[in-house]
Structure 1
């Protein structure tokens, strides 16, 4: 064996020595002197010189250190150590500086090494032949070295989910004449989008999502004639989307959650024949949905949710290949297009809730045979539920609540064997619940409240073993409930209030050990409250008022009194609650006895109805009557910032502190300068800030 081959073999043994955990022991058994190192697993050698050119240790779940002896593999072209748990020798650095000595290296893959620490070394700028640089899902910090942008051979920079990466995107990016993929997202990189990007004519994929980019989208990005994917979602952009970026090559455009305003560009005759995905949700974009989208025959995903768009909706469904259409929370004020159902559609998700949509549901809706989700809630839809809805054999979630629909619930609904959520509350539906409802065995949520439904509850409804939420409130149901309702073993929320039920309350409800909320108020139940209710260990709220019950509340239920209280402020109290559909919320209830409370509530409502920012808690609804003033807000699952800052059970690192400070500052900046009239909080503290991650 020549001295150069010995050098390679010694380097490989050093690499093996640095691996502390090898779950399959493949290296221990295979990397031995009994066979040539060119035949070792993960090693490829050149044919003539027998020098190592490829070292592929990816996806082996290895743990240990990245050995600096890698630099002795001087003919190495490909280094793949993805999806392992490598770290540096001293547990304080990161990628070894010695990798910069691999002058023949063209492919460097270090993705998904969660324990990789430190910074990206400057020495990588010495690898002048490097074409692919992939480092993702690691704990690297610092900024991208300027020297990286001098590697003129680079085709791909792929740095997603380096959450502590900071700095800005250097203007020197123009020095990457061959770059095709520039993917730097899910981090703390700030600053603006450098205009010099438009000089990189080779760029195919540009991803700067989920960072701290601000400012405008440069108009000249439209000169990137090869650009296929353009993603700058979840940032802090301003102004409208420039018309120049919509060039004919684009296949994917994602600008959601980016504070964009204005209208989509109006260009007569503009065609986007290659567009497959357009995501603009959660901005402040308005105007009409551009008609040219109807000519994007390859479009499979369109999300315009939570904007200010007005009619018309897309009309030429027959020209599209849409699989996901989400346009909820807009201001269309029109009818569903008659073209719905002209032919069998590949549509999987159709979401048009909260859009002021009126008219009937077209019978052609039944042609969406592949549909999984149909959301048409909180509109002004009238007429009946078309029987053709029974053709949607793949449907899993059906939301028609909050409309003005009348007539009966069609028996054809029972043909939807895969249905898991049925939400029809707040309509004018009448008649009985179809007796066949028990055939929809996968149902988890049945929400039929606030209609004019009558008769008794079908017996087989109580056999729905997967049912989690049942709301039949505010109808005209009557009769007695069956004494044995024992199959509802996973139910968490049951509301039968405001009906005409008779007889005794079933003691079998006490066997629903997961039940959190029970409301049977305003009926004609009689007898005693079953002692078995004391076994409801998960119960948070119960209301049996306005019945003809003859016993007092069992002592076992007294624990519920203040269980949901989260805090008390100067104008009221804050409680954890649950909507009738099972959604967790926070309810802020005003103390009407406090001087100035009404004025404070009105001012808060006026402010909250106009603001929209990703760092401000979203208001779901409000309640205002002579007895109660309340705000219903989205529940933040991780609690208050105060808990994270001062509890011994939680520990934030320095970069998490900085990230929190920046997020709070950006929210305040929006309140102070993002509205026509400045908004001042006046009572900002840690207890009133929430954590979502």
Structure 2
């Protein structure tokens, strides 16, 4: 039988073998590995390496339907797994395609072991984290597709090692930093797609030297700098070049014309300057050209007319682009889309502009300076679906031939200098969905009735013209899809058709400023609460629909809450009916200020403007609304002080001003509004004392002043508030005692005084709050005991006194039988039942007794030793004294967030001592059988152990009802976490080093003392790793001390299944062989990543 030290020597040589690679490695295998280990090595070696890599991959990802978990089974051939393709001859994995399988997790490094892989496609999943460097080992890879994930970090330079890759697609991730120059090494690259990331810096000039490139997509990043002048010199095969939505500057290189095979070019949304080079006309293969949203200047070159295969031309939003539209553009018969809007183009349109555009579907020329007539030949663009000529200087009439564009869906002709009438022929456009002919003062006559027969129409905008006549009585009868109707500022007359209000789809109507007879003039209630209505105007525009309500002289209620109307309240709100009583406009996305003119509506009883984005001050004119009973302005951005003018609201019952930015003091005169039932000023920046006048509001039901900076000059006396249901003064700066007068509030349901600086005791009179359901006093400086009389509060459902200085027994009867431990945590000296996580109450122990410090070390010193004293034992000669209070502070009251783990006899917490030292604190659960003995065993076992590979005990804290060990903190956790983590796994050198450390530690335990120490529970979770990944054996709670050659019989087995020696589990016999067996199991697990309970070992 080999001695245990064999393992140590073997692993040391094994590490050397790895570093000197294969020759030495094979020699060591032959010389040193025992037969059992050789058998295991052969078993692992015979496993298909591809299968092993994919099983590791499966273990590290999750999917909602567990597709891989059900399909990827070790019992079936890897070549039959979903998403896996194998070579015909060698049966090695050559392709892995898991696209769009909703998989989550990090990409594990094991994929780098698929050495025959040609294609890896993980696109359209939820992979995150960095790319593992092991993927750089896939030297046969041709396709790497990782688009549409959540990968981050920089694009690694080792991608340049994948020299056979043809497609590199990593679009739509979160990659940052620069594009690595090493990509130039991928000499056969055909597709490079890094769009929709967060890349920065310049585009590496080396990319433009990869002559095999056909597609370059770098759109939607933050790339800067200029394009190389010779960028197309080495790109003869380039077909797609997308750099849109970046921060590129400089000129468009004139050498662009040398990319002779280019089909798609997008430089859209950058900061490019200079002119559009004429050489672009040499790109005769071009199908799509996007140059818009840049800082270019000059004219559109005539040479663009050479692009006879062009289908999409988009040069928009360039204000310095002037001159005429080249007529040659209108000769490109392949064009389907022309977008030249938002420039400064001038001149007239060719009379035969549609003669050679049979495929044109979209023509956007709006927002330019075009003049002249609309060509009548426009009708020859027979496939046109979208036509926009708005915001130009076009003259003449609307040609009848437009009625021949029967495919048209959208027609914009507004904001021009046209004249005449809207022609009846527009009624021929039976597929039209949007008609916008607005702001043309020369447009007269009636609205053609044929327009109202176009059943596909969703939007009609004919406002701000000079149209006259009446509207057809059945105007909405044939418009089943109509959503928006704008006819304002015309000269329309007659009655508003009644069926307009029967439309089930109509969302917006604007008939303002016509001569129509108002059928709404008798309207009293307008209630369009909680719909999806919008104003149709910009967010900073006034509510224009208010103007149409000014004639409703009997209007008493406006209820528009819950609609995303946006915009601002207009000043002509003053023109609304003086009979208006109720104004509901909360949650409407309102912006701007509340107009002072609201004070003109003197009969208002209710104003609800909460949950908007209103800013500015609260208008003082509101104080003049003497009849107002409810004022709701919560959840806005209102600032300034609370005006004393509000004190004039003598009939006010509800005042909601919470969740704003109000500052200053609370006006004491609010206490004079004796009608107040609800006062909410919470979540502002108020900083005064609380006016004592508020405590005189005898009929008030709710007061909420929480989350401010309020303080008090005297104790708060609420004895007069006999009707109060809810009082919330939390999160302020209140001090002093809680007066017993609170007990008189027999109607009080909710009381929150938390997060203040209150001190003194909890009043006994609280037991008189017979209606109380909610009581929160946490985070104060309250002392004394919790009155047992509070058990009488039958309706109390929530109680919290945590973070105070309370002591004594926690009441246990009545409502207190249901409160959790969090209700009492972090107090001075509360005691009670174990479920509340406080010490038990012991009548025979004085409540102020001190903890007995370092009990275990005193026991240890009673035993003599002949071992030499080393330097690092000096700290044990005078162990540091530490108290329960210091340990509590170090762990924030043994807070759960500081817990590192738990075991059979207690919990381990991370703590920081007063000197800043980080430690691990093992707290024994003394309610567990054997905990006292376990504490003593650890002291006995470790009193003489000082070794770099064994966890060091710094000190301990021991009393009758509390025992803890203070240990060195190991920042890298335990070995189990590293072996079975999804994100990190030690390399083989680290694993060998760790196992050498453990071997040395066990050798020291067995042979480094006169009395051997047997650990009895060696397993990965008891092997801890410090910041340098040095292993330390810990947790000696079930250890044994043996004489020479001695064995012991353990009556209760506490070791861990799988790591426990067979003789220990079956007979309870303990010897050093038990630790050696456990070590062998860990050795296997460390190098196979298979737990002893894995199916791999099921038959052994």
Using the size of structure 2 for normalisation, the TM-score is 0.47
- The residue number in structure 2 matching 1:384 is 421
State the alpha-carbon separation in 1 of the partners of residues 116 and 396 from structure 2: 70
User: Cα RMSD over matched residues?
Assistant: 3.3
Matches within 5 A, 1:47-66: 47-66=88-107
Q: How many residues align?
A: 552
- 1:465 deviates by 3.2
Match of 1:429 among 467, 477, 497: 467
- Report Cα offsets for 1:316-360 as digits up to 9, x if no partner: 2142112121111100112111101136x2222111111111111
Match of 1:554 among 604, 628, 633: 604
**Highest relative contact order (Cα 8 Å, sep 6+), 1 or 2?**
1
**Structure 1 pair 392/4, CA: closer, same or farther in 2 (3 Å)?**
farther
Match of 1:158 among 184, 189, 193: 193
State the alpha-carbon separation in 2 of the partners of residues 544 and 174 from structure 1: 60
Match status 1:473 vs 2:523: no
State the alpha-carbon separation in 1 of the partners of residues 292 and 121 from structure 2: 33
Q: Which runs of 5+ in 2 are unaligned?
A: 1-42, 536-542, 619-1100
- 1:137 deviates by 1.4
Match status 1:514 vs 2:563: yes
- Report Cα offsets for 1:151-186 as digits up to 9, x if no partner: 1100010011012x1121222124311100011111
Match status 1:319 vs 2:368: no
- Greater shift, 280-289 or 367-376, is seen at 367-376
**1:31, 1:40 within 8 Å by CA — same for their partners in 2?**
yes
**2:342, 2:366 within 8 Å by CA — same for their partners in 1?**
yes
- Report Cα offsets for 1:570-601 as digits up to 9, x if no partner: xxxxxxxxxxxxxxxxxxxxxxxxxxxxxxxx
- The residue number in structure 2 matching 1:74 is 115
- 1:266 deviates by 2.8
- Report Cα offsets for 1:478-537 as digits up to 9, x if no partner: 243275797966544475687899775456754776385898979999x86343x43444
The structure with the largest alpha-carbon Rg is 2
**Structure 1 pair 567/534, CA: closer, same or farther in 2 (3 Å)?**
closer
**Structure 1 pair 107/167, CA: closer, same or farther in 2 (3 Å)?**
same
**1:204, 1:228 within 8 Å by CA — same for their partners in 2?**
yes
- Report Cα offsets for 1:428-485 as digits up to 9, x if no partner: 1001123233232332222211111111111111223333332212211224327579
Matches within 5 A, 1:38-437: 38-88=79-129, 94-114=130-150, 116-163=151-198, 165-199=199-233, 200-246=235-281, 247-267=283-303, 270-283=305-318, 284-313=320-349, 315-320=352-357, 321-342=359-380, 345-403=382-440, 404-437=442-475
State the alpha-carbon separation in 1 of the partners of residues 259 and 117 from structure 2: 34
DSSP 3-state at the match of 2:583: helix
- Report Cα offsets for 1:398-421 as digits up to 9, x if no partner: 211111210011111112223222
- 1:552 deviates by 3.5
- The residue number in structure 2 matching 1:634 is none
- 1:566 deviates by 6.3
State the alpha-carbon separation in 2 of the partners of residues 273 and 311 from structure 1: 24
Match status 1:459 vs 2:498: yes
**1:98, 1:123 within 8 Å by CA — same for their partners in 2?**
no
- The residue number in structure 2 matching 1:576 is none
- Greater shift, 516-525 or 165-174, is seen at 516-525
State the alpha-carbon separation in 2 of the partners of residues 275 and 70 from structure 1: 44
**1:311, 1:332 within 8 Å by CA — same for their partners in 2?**
yes
**Structure 1 pair 389/3, CA: closer, same or farther in 2 (3 Å)?**
farther
- Report Cα offsets for 1:206-258 as digits up to 9, x if no partner: 11111111000011111111000111111111111001012211111101111
- The residue number in structure 2 matching 1:23 is 64
**Structure 1 pair 566/353, CA: closer, same or farther in 2 (3 Å)?**
farther
**1:515, 1:536 within 8 Å by CA — same for their partners in 2?**
no
State the alpha-carbon separation in 2 of the partners of residues 291 and 167 from structure 1: 40
Q: Which runs of 5+ in 1 are unaligned?
A: 89-93, 569-693
State the alpha-carbon separation in 2 of the partners of residues 521 and 301 from structure 1: 45
**1:124, 1:147 within 8 Å by CA — same for their partners in 2?**
yes
- The residue number in structure 2 matching 1:534 is 583
State the alpha-carbon separation in 1 of the partners of residues 276 and 132 from structure 2: 42
- The residue number in structure 1 matching 2:48 is 6
**1:496, 1:521 within 8 Å by CA — same for their partners in 2?**
no
**1:305, 1:327 within 8 Å by CA — same for their partners in 2?**
yes
**Structure 1 pair 385/468, CA: closer, same or farther in 2 (3 Å)?**
same
State the alpha-carbon separation in 2 of the partners of residues 166 and 397 from structure 1: 41
**2:527, 2:559 within 8 Å by CA — same for their partners in 1?**
no
**1:478, 1:499 within 8 Å by CA — same for their partners in 2?**
no
State the alpha-carbon separation in 2 of the partners of residues 333 and 160 from structure 1: 40
**2:521, 2:551 within 8 Å by CA — same for their partners in 1?**
no
- 1:557 deviates by 4.0
- Report Cα offsets for 1:282-315 as digits up to 9, x if no partner: 1121111111111111111111111111123354
DSSP 3-state at the match of 1:8: helix
State the alpha-carbon separation in 2 of the partners of residues 22 and 544 from structure 1: 55
